[in-house]
Structure 1
Amino acid sequence: MTLLGEVVAASGEVAATRSRKAKTATLSALLARLEPAEIRPATAWLAGEMLQGRTGIGWRTLQALTPTPAATSTLTVADVDAALERLAALAGSGSGVGARRAAELGALMDAATSDEGRFLVRLLGGELRQGALEGVMIEAVAAAATLASDATGSRVEVPADAVRRAFMLSGRLPTTAHVALTSEDPVADLAAIGLEVLRPVRPMLASPGDSLDAALAELGTEVVVEQKFDGARIQCHRRGDEVRVFTRTLRDITGGVPDTVALLRSLPVESVVLDGEILALHDDGRPRPFQETMKAFGSTGLRPWFFDCLHRDGLDLVDEPLERRRAELAAIAPDHVMPGVVRPSAEEAAEAVDASLAAGHEGSMVKALDSTYSAGRRGRAWQKVKPSHTLDLVVLACEWGSGRRRGWLSNIHLGAREGDGFVMIGKTFKGMTDETLRWQTDTFPRYETHRDAWAVYLRPEIVVEIELDGVQTSTRYPGGVALRFARVVRYRDDKPAAEADTIDAVRALLP
């Protein structure tokens, strides 16, 4: 049996080094010696998550704890997983539920050492939830599976790409790790994990393009230039009459998009998986702001547009070129295909971009027609072209306002992804309406880790889209750069922190 203390020690070693090789070695050594029943929970914890999801325990409850730490480590991985299951089962409100939850949590914390208790508080509070660690975990699972095969005397080299593909298609890293570490033929069994209709797939992501000319110079003439809507990303699954619609974070929103569900049921297929955008429109057909689209969930009037087909009637298409997938899409839902031009000349491409902007959309997408669907990856085969620079950054803290903004949380601290964490690159309060200030003041304390007289410091989970005029070098912020004329465009409720822009992407904007 593996002790929780061993997981905590490995997590601490990973946090203490910047070396990706060292992180992978530490994690793989631990994963390789786990019992089969321990693999899923331990993998989830090391990636900063829990198998049980939310347990209903807030930061106020965690901060109010006064445990008596155990002198030695006795909690096993199985003990903690069972305790988290009990806590999850007690999620809800009411004095009776609250008392039982407090008792269960108190018993768990009293059984933990000081180090284990701090780890559990951060895990339960979401402070360990760093999606950027997933890449290291994928490499560690592959290395651990290779080590495990060594122990049986039949060494099998398990490539990280095999683990990555299985994870992206299943959406479940703990389950992928369990297959890799317990299988007699991990490479074959990982390859057998494919797209499953009604189970969401990690969406393929686009990279920022410097300009239309630069995107065309890199990708060539074998491209499609599509309109880029400022809507909400959706992934739609149908099998028979059963329909599921998921967000880009794989959250099920089927009940909130009745029009899209009805459309999917009307398509001439038995099974299908489509990728696209949904947005609210004005009466004249022009798009409404992103925030209005998000508020419209649960009502009618949201219009879906699709730009990819990942599966049709038993045939998986993720490894087929985009041109083939677009042809399948056009045959299935011709009235809902994202507008675009195929193999345009430079002049036709420019006209398509201008038409997208004129229609009220935020820009265009340039996609290579031979690209496969790289689930969960951000590659150069898809590039987004916008008229101004925008970055998706994470809010690290927020300062209390002064003058007219006194009493409101105002100036936000912005962070970019760096390794397994985030580094600060600037602040801004520009572009904020009174409604934004009220929302920040109401919402940010739910993500609070601590505060001082000037600011509230947050778990790095809230993503904000920032428009800027450029980037310059600076010694003022830890990231070594500063944003020029940064202003808030919107908060990205649809995007996890793991998909925020990296410090390398920010530095690439330096003149």
Structure 2
Amino acid sequence: MLRFADVVAVSSTVSATRSRLAKVDALAGVLTAADPDEVPAVVAFLAGAPRQGRIGAGWRTLAAVAGQPADSPTLTVRAVDAALGEVAAVSGSGSTARRADLLGGLLTAATADEQRFLRALLTGELRQGALEGVMLDAIARASGQPGPAVRRAFMLSGRLPETAAAALAGTLDDVRLELGRPVRPMLASPGATLADAVADLSPCLVEYKMDGARIQVHKRGADVRVWTRTLREITGSVPELVELVRGLPCAAAVLDGETLALTDDGRPRPFQETMSRFGSTVEEQVRALLLRPYFFDCLHLDGEDLIDEPLRVRTAALRRAVGDHVIPGVAEPTLEQAEELTSAALDAGHEGVMVKDLDSTYQAGRRGKAWQKVKPVHTFDLVVLAAEWGHGRRTGTLSNLHLGARDPDGGPPVMVGKTFKGLTDELLAWQTRTFPEFESHRDDWTVYLRPHLVVEIALDGVQVSTRYPGGIALRFARVVRYRPDKTPEEADTIDTLRGLL
């Protein structure tokens, strides 16, 4: 029976080193020591997200119920997991008081180190380096299973705890694509130029890169369910998409695509307007802002899994499944044809184009080179680390942003620059109102944030610099928009930015 203190100790070890190998060794060691039924909870704790998800307890609640820490560790992994399960199950009248009582009992039984870990875990602040890539390597090491097999199972299940349990039990082959269980989406890398991307990926497919929101749709008869790129279900918020997919000429399908709201003349509305629909179930709002889907991949069709088939096969299946709802594109184009499609996409108000290798399989959850996005301007998704108070007409607002790129080895985001450009009055007001929710500490000039918010930044390039820890600095960085559909784990890496040198 594994002690909770052992998990906390491994977390500290992982946080204290920048060595990916050392992180993997430490994580694999505790996974090997855990009993099979403890593995899912251990992985969830170390990955920074309890299996129960959000349990309705914030900093104030946890601080109010903490009490004096225990002198010595007595908690087990099973006991902590069970206690969090009990807290998550509380609902109805008196739930706030009951939740506080349960959390108070758990924290009182915890040592000071265990209390700190639990507070960080339950408030989403546990940034210890055990990110997905590192944890997947540790699962492979502990189980003796091949890394690609572990990653494939994670792609199909979308859940680290379940992937670890299957790997250690030797049942990875049992993890398959299931209708009704979302698959982690395949991601694209920035392409240098259209000509380079077309040459590198030939034979290729070139299609519109739309300024919409990623969706994954599962259909089984009349049952249709829709998820975002972060695998959050939004079926109840998008009834027009559900109704459209019900009418498609197929009995069962798993579809990947984009959805966006259009103006009366067919141009895309701002990204934030599309995203606003994902939290809405109000009928009037649905009627006021209808969403249209554009599908670009098909992972399953009428009983046949296609995830391991090349893109050319999946594209043919997609056209059979969705008809006119395929995203505009051209297969195996000449460079002139690709340039014409790019011009058409930009003229229609879209971001640019995607260039995809027609012989590539669907590599979910990975930002490989088989899909490349080509835009007129370099844009990258970075993490907001802090914001400085403004001056002049911006006095009283949080303005100048500190920006960080993701550490691919699981460490905290690496600062690469600052910017206040591109911030409208509306965004300044939103930042000033919202940033304190994610505050970790502040000084006279700056409010520092827990890594949570992702912002899309346009820039002209990077340059070598000793000013920031990453050894580079952004050139002419400006804010494009915030990305509420992305997590810090999906931000661009420091290595990607260094590749611009």
- TM-score of the superposed pair, with normalisation by structure 2: 0.95
1:51 aligns to what?
51
2:22 aligns to what?
22
Task: Decide whether the 8 Å contact of 2:405 with 2:491 is kept in 1.
Answer: yes
Within 5 Å, which residues of 2 pair with 1:434-453?
434-453=425-444
> Which amino acid in the other structure matches residue 201 of structure 1?
V
Match of 1:260 among 215, 238, 241: 241
Task: Decide whether the 8 Å contact of 1:321 with 1:372 is kept in 2.
Answer: yes
| Cα distance in 2 for residues equivalent to 1:226 and 1:132 | 35
SS at match of 2:299: strand
Within 5 Å, which residues of 2 pair with 1:42-441?
42-64=42-64, 66-90=66-90, 96-128=94-126, 133-146=131-144, 158-181=145-168, 183=169, 186=170, 189-220=171-202, 222-297=203-278, 298=280, 299-300=286-287, 301-418=290-407, 419-420=409-410, 421-441=412-432
> Which amino acid in the other structure matches residue 110 of structure 1?
T
SS at match of 2:44: helix
1:151 aligns to what?
none
| Cα distance in 2 for residues equivalent to 1:130 and 1:312 | 40
CA drift at 1:89? 2.1
CA drift at 1:60? 2.8
SS at match of 2:131: helix
> Which amino acid in the other structure matches residue 271 of structure 1?
A
| Cα distance in 2 for residues equivalent to 1:178 and 1:504 | 31
The C-alpha deviation readout for 1:342-387, integer Å capped at 9, x for no partner, is 1111111111111111111000000010010001111101000000
| Cα distance in 1 for residues equivalent to 2:388 and 2:109 | 38
| Cα distance in 1 for residues equivalent to 2:382 and 2:309 | 33
Task: Decide whether the 8 Å contact of 2:472 with 2:498 is kept in 1.
Answer: yes
Task: Decide whether the 8 Å contact of 2:11 with 2:128 is kept in 1.
Answer: no
> Which amino acid in the other structure matches residue 459 of structure 1?
R
CA drift at 1:453? 2.3
| Cα distance in 1 for residues equivalent to 2:384 and 2:391 | 20
1:155 aligns to what?
none
Task: Decide whether the 8 Å contact of 1:399 with 1:454 is kept in 2.
Answer: yes
| Cα distance in 1 for residues equivalent to 2:446 and 2:303 | 54
CA drift at 1:129? 5.4
| Cα distance in 2 for residues equivalent to 1:487 and 1:313 | 46
| Cα distance in 1 for residues equivalent to 2:304 and 2:488 | 33
CA drift at 1:22? 1.5
> Which amino acid in the other structure matches residue 355 of structure 1?
A
| Cα distance in 2 for residues equivalent to 1:131 and 1:21 | 12
The C-alpha deviation readout for 1:265-302, integer Å capped at 9, x for no partner, is 00121110000000010111111111121124441411
> Which amino acid in the other structure matches residue 232 of structure 1?
A
> Which amino acid in the other structure matches residue 480 of structure 1?
G
| Cα distance in 1 for residues equivalent to 2:91 and 2:439 | 21
Task: Decide whether the 8 Å contact of 2:257 with 2:294 is kept in 1.
Answer: yes
> Which amino acid in the other structure matches residue 25 of structure 1?
D
CA drift at 1:452? 2.3
CA drift at 1:99? 2.4
Query: What are the ranges of 5 or more consecutive residues in structure 2 without an aligned counterpart?
Result: 281-285
> Which amino acid in the other structure matches residue 159 of structure 1?
P
Structure 1 residues 121 and 91: alpha-carbon distance in aligned structure 2, compared to 1, 3 A threshold: farther
SS at match of 1:333: helix
CA drift at 1:66? 5.0
CA drift at 1:442? 2.0
SS at match of 2:360: coil
2:283 aligns to what?
none
Task: Decide whether the 8 Å contact of 1:426 with 1:482 is kept in 2.
Answer: yes
Which stretch of structure 1 is more off in the superposition, 469-478 or 206-215? Answer: 469-478
> Which amino acid in the other structure matches residue 351 of structure 2?
E
CA RMSD, 1 decimal? 1.5
| Cα distance in 2 for residues equivalent to 1:388 and 1:291 | 20
Task: Decide whether the 8 Å contact of 1:311 with 1:318 is kept in 2.
Answer: yes
Return structure 1 stretches of 4+ with deviation > 3 angstroms: 62-66, 129-132
2:476 aligns to what?
485
CA drift at 1:82? 1.3
Task: Decide whether the 8 Å contact of 2:383 with 2:452 is kept in 1.
Answer: yes
Task: Decide whether the 8 Å contact of 1:132 with 1:417 is kept in 2.
Answer: no
The C-alpha deviation readout for 1:384-418, integer Å capped at 9, x for no partner, is 00001111000111122232222222211100011
CA drift at 1:178? 1.1
SS at match of 2:8: helix
The C-alpha deviation readout for 1:408-449, integer Å capped at 9, x for no partner, is 222111000112121111111111111111211222222222
SS at match of 1:226: strand
| Cα distance in 1 for residues equivalent to 2:108 and 2:489 | 33
1:455 aligns to what?
446
Paired positions, count: 491
Query: What are the ranges of 5 or more consecutive residues in structure 1 without an aligned counterpart?
Result: 147-157
CA drift at 1:460? 0.8
The C-alpha deviation readout for 1:12-39, integer Å capped at 9, x for no partner, is 1111112222111111111012112211
CA drift at 1:323? 0.5
| Cα distance in 1 for residues equivalent to 2:60 and 2:176 | 41
> Which amino acid in the other structure matches residue 88 of structure 2?
A
SS at match of 2:466: coil
SS at match of 1:54: coil
Structure 1 residues 371 and 131: alpha-carbon distance in aligned structure 2, compared to 1, 3 A threshold: farther
| Cα distance in 1 for residues equivalent to 2:153 and 2:487 | 20
Which stretch of structure 1 is more off in the superposition, 302-311 or 31-40? Answer: 31-40
| Cα distance in 2 for residues equivalent to 1:54 and 1:12 | 23
Task: Decide whether the 8 Å contact of 2:41 with 2:81 is kept in 1.
Answer: yes
Which stretch of structure 1 is more off in the superposition, 474-483 or 38-47? Answer: 474-483
CA drift at 1:64? 4.5
| Cα distance in 2 for residues equivalent to 1:408 and 1:468 | 24
Task: Decide whether the 8 Å contact of 1:468 with 1:484 is kept in 2.
Answer: yes
| Cα distance in 2 for residues equivalent to 1:406 and 1:58 | 30
Which stretch of structure 1 is more off in the superposition, 59-68 or 267-276? Answer: 59-68
> Which amino acid in the other structure matches residue 52 of structure 2?
Q
Task: Decide whether the 8 Å contact of 1:56 with 1:91 is kept in 2.
Answer: no
